[in-house]
Structure 1
Amino acid sequence: MMGSKMGTIAAGIGGALFIGYCVYFDRKRRSDPNFKKILRERRMKQKISQEKSGLARLPDLKDPGAVQQFFLDEIQLGEELLAQGDYEKSVDHLTNAIAVCGQPQQLLQVLQQTLPPPVFQMLITKVPTISQRIANAQNLAEDDVE
């Protein structure tokens, strides 16, 4: 009986110390004069790397209007680039559209019927990166909270 009470008290004190530790270092990090500068630099590097790789910035996934507009823009860009013969960039934009699509399987079926087979194969090879991109975008949105 006495051991379980002591264990509970020790766990409570340990939890309180851990929370205090987290609060202390979070305040210390945010009060650092270089915090905002470092955060801006990290965001700029990420934006530059996305632009270099041809990947568009995903919209706020909680805003249906922004998601719909992004989807339509990416489909249109993908079609335009496909018509110009730039298959790599076209596939990048179509992949972005699939990333935010509510029914990606149906979209893939339509694309399979409309795209040339080599282009569709390129698209299929990039599809596995979609879930990773969405997870990264959500993590970055959570990390950017100031």
Structure 2
Amino acid sequence: MTMVSKAAIGIAAGICGTLFLGYCIYFDRKRRSDPNFKKKLRERRKARKAASKEGSKFPDLKDRDDVQRWFLQEIQLGEELLARGDLDAGVEHLGNAVAVCGQPNQLLQVLQQTLPPQVFHLLLQRLPVVGQKLVASSGMNMPTMAGVEDELE
């Protein structure tokens, strides 16, 4: 009796797999036969390419979840780029994270302890530029990072 149930389960799983594969093939053909598919695909690729050239856009500073998600993403991306040896891009992303951080002094102290001195000084030099970009993108009056440098040294 258990042999029949195992066989029935195997047959049912095979039928479900075949139906799912047919479903995928049907909708893939339907999507590709759409006259606007290639146009939309080119537009999406062009938009992605433009977004990657522009660098990171700052999030809406009024949305705390979006800012927190973006902050963590920038920290992670900055660390990855530094690990690969791309100092300029890594420092750019870490600077973006410092600019939106709620407590930049504490973050900078942690970064000072973890980053090599030359990379940290690059970051400090980059902060005023990143702060200006943040102010320009948000349209808000934000404090500058000039005092932060003095506190850390």
TM-score (norm: length of structure 1) = 0.58
Residue 131 of structure 1: how far off its partner (Å):
2.5
Number of residue equivalences: 94
Residue type of the alignment partner of 2:84: Q
SS in 2 for 1:102: coil
Q: Could you list the runs of 5+ residues in structure 2 that have no partner in the other structure?
A: 1-48, 141-153
Structure 2 distance, partners of 1:96, 1:105, is 14
Matched, 1:100 2:100: yes
Number of the residue aligned with 2:71 = 71
Task: Give 3-state SS (helix, strand or coil) of 2:139's partner.
Answer: helix
Is 1:86 aligned to residue 86 of structure 2?
Answer: yes
String of CA shifts for 1:43-98, please: whole Å, max 9, x gaps.
Answer: xxxx94x7436x30000000000000000000000111111111111001001101
**What is the RMSD computed on CA atoms of the aligned residues?**
2.4
Letter in 2 for 1:52: K
Measure how far apart 1:139 and its partner are: 2.6
Task: Identify the residue that residue 52 of structure 1 maps to in structure 2.
Answer: 53
Give me the TM-score of the superposition, normalised by structure 2.
0.56
1:124 aligns with 2:131: no
Task: Work out the CA distance in 1 between the residues paired with 2:138 and 2:120.
Answer: 27
Q: 2: CA distance between counterparts of 1:130 and 1:81?
A: 17
Which residue matches 1:134?
134
Q: Which runs of 5+ in 1 are unaligned?
A: 1-46, 141-146
The runs of at least 4 consecutive aligned structure 1 residues that moved more than 3 Å come to 50-53
Amino acid corresponding to residue 56 of structure 1 in structure 2? S
- Give how far 1:130 is off: 2.9
